[in-house]
Amino acid sequence: MNANTGERQGFNIEKWGAPIALAALLVIAAVVGWPHFHKPQNLINVMRQASYTGIIALSMTFVIISGGIDLSVGSMAAFCASVGVLFMNWMLGNGLGEFWAVVCGGVAASILIGGVCGAVNGALITAGKIVPFIVTLGTMSIFRYLCLQMANAGEFASKSQLFSRFGAAALFQFTASGHRISLPIPIFALFILAAILSFLLKSTRYGRYLCAVGSNAKVAQYSAIRVGRVRFWAYVVNGLCVGVAASLLAARFNTVSTPNFGLNFEMDAIAATIIGGTVMAGGRGTVWGTVIGCFMLQIIQNMLNMAGISPYWQGVVKGIVIIVSVFIQKQKQ
């Protein structure tokens, strides 16, 4: 009964636009970045680099679908990572030896703090009735300067050797066309979280409510949906994902440099979400689209690197890509 809707609408750009753009970009990158781009190790590097902000972009998709925005994610990441590392160091300094449990404790602390930070954002937005842009602009400053104050603008180095092993760890080692390949943990985290969030968004009541609230909050309210709660949880989920990304990145560096950690992450996360086809005004979007969006951003950067283009021009290109992708989305409406 519902099979023939596509016929009259013709080509469904909303569904296929992002995958096709990614495929086209891969071809271009393979040509521009010849002969290095297409090598498995490079592709895996691209994916790993995309994962950290990618994980944040997944939940940013929730926030944007709900009709909001979260500018605080970069600072929040720095804050979560700092707390995680401090907690690990505290455990090590209090007689606990180098166990994986300590690493788990640090990661859990990061995620938990992320959830709390997200809850603060969510509460101010829903109970405090302040617009998301202002609330998260404020907390962006608060989270960043809290870390700077704690570290005296310096860095928090992890004392755990296991933590850095966790940061470099990879799963599934195998050999393909003569190269030894292994998939780093962040890539797994990205795909697992994407699968979970996509399930939440597409198949559960919460996902349906999230889109309803983002499309038309008044209709949602009249339809007996608790608009405030739905919004609140979007920010909490976002905070939790920030915590995950922050601990993975901190483990990678084995240290948290408070002035720089997570800087401009909000820009990359929002850009990936928008490129992935989520509507800025809320109500519509897909998690997998966002995954494609963050891969695209990273591929562009990698390709331009290989072509020897300065990082400043790379920033310019990134900006153009964001604007063009939104422009294309507008055309179909």
- Contact residues toward other proteins (CB under 8 A) are 1-2, 4-5, 8, 199-200, 203-206, 208-209, 211-212, 215-216, 218-226, 283-284
CB nearer other proteins, residue 4 or residue 152: 4
C-beta of 5: minimal distance to other proteins in Å? 5
The answer to whether 169 and 100 are in contact (CB under 8 A) is: no
Beta bridge partners of 255: 157
In terms of Cβ atoms closer than 10 Å to its own Cβ (0-12, 13-18, 19+), residue 263 is middle
CB nearer other proteins, residue 179 or residue 202: 202
231 three-class SS: helix
CB nearer other proteins, residue 179 or residue 205: 205
C-beta of 128: minimal distance to other proteins in Å? 18
C-beta of 274: minimal distance to other proteins in Å? 17
Q: In sequence order, which residues have a C-beta less than 8 Å from that of residue 331 and are 6 or more positions away?
A: none
C-beta of 196: minimal distance to other proteins in Å? 10
35 phi, psi to nearest 5 deg: -105, 20
CB nearer other proteins, residue 9 or residue 152: 9
Q: Cis ω on the peptide bond leading into residue 259 (within 30° of 0)?
A: no
Q: How far apart are CA 333 and CA 329, in angstroms?
A: 7
C-beta of 219: minimal distance to other proteins in Å? 5
The answer to whether 173 and 181 are in contact (CB under 8 A) is: yes
CB nearer other proteins, residue 24 or residue 195: 195
Q: How far apart are the first and last CA of the chain?
A: 25
C-beta of 215: minimal distance to other proteins in Å? 5
Of 271, 288, 123, nearest in space to 200 by CA: 288
CB nearer other proteins, residue 8 or residue 129: 8
In terms of Cβ atoms closer than 10 Å to its own Cβ (0-12, 13-18, 19+), residue 94 is exposed
DSSP 129: -
Q: Whose structure tokens read 């928090």? A: 156
Of 10, 117, 127, 119, nearest in space to 72 by CA: 117
CB nearer other proteins, residue 209 or residue 261: 209
C-beta of 199: minimal distance to other proteins in Å? 8
The answer to whether 54 and 190 are in contact (CB under 8 A) is: yes
CB nearer other proteins, residue 65 or residue 109: 65
C-beta of 4: minimal distance to other proteins in Å? 7
The answer to whether 52 and 244 are in contact (CB under 8 A) is: no
C-beta of 293: minimal distance to other proteins in Å? 21
CB nearer other proteins, residue 211 or residue 321: 211
* C-alpha dihedral, 56 to 61 to 146 to 251, nearest 10°: -10
Q: Whose structure tokens read 């999230």? A: 210
